[in-house]
Chain A
């Protein structure tokens, strides 16, 4: 049920953001503060999502093999590995840590 509500709500919100300029605003520039906010928000939220999906288990902090995977992804990314390589490295390192 929650998933369906989110599906509808998020569809409306993301579509409104995508279509606002082509349908209504035209090419008029956005206020500078909105541009900066839109540019900075993803960094804060993505970092939070890394934390929450990396160390949370049922609303508590749980440190497990996922952290090994996250470390492997960080190493891969710092060596300019593409997205896929980083994600696969994370899975492989996590699997290895669990097998040991």
Chain B
């Protein structure tokens, strides 16, 4: 019963996200609206943590599995990728590393600075 209710709440919020996506003409997916909505519901205690916790954490734990079908689907877009494959092979790794370093280092620096400011 507990899990039915928890999963039910998560699906209801997901559904509300789909409604928002339908109404707002922006390239923002239902999942992002749902995430923000659930965060607000938790913040304002309209939904309690215990009412979604286990089912939500279960879904998060098995999340890597959910990417396999889409990634295996890369076989179907092979003919289209082939054309710019060389530039992709350089670009994707470089870009991914740069972004990780920039976002991580800037956040690190600002956290350190705030801590020093407090001292």
Query: Is the A/B pair a real complex?
Result: no
- State the B residues within 8 Å of A (CB): none
- State the A residues within 8 Å of B (CB): none
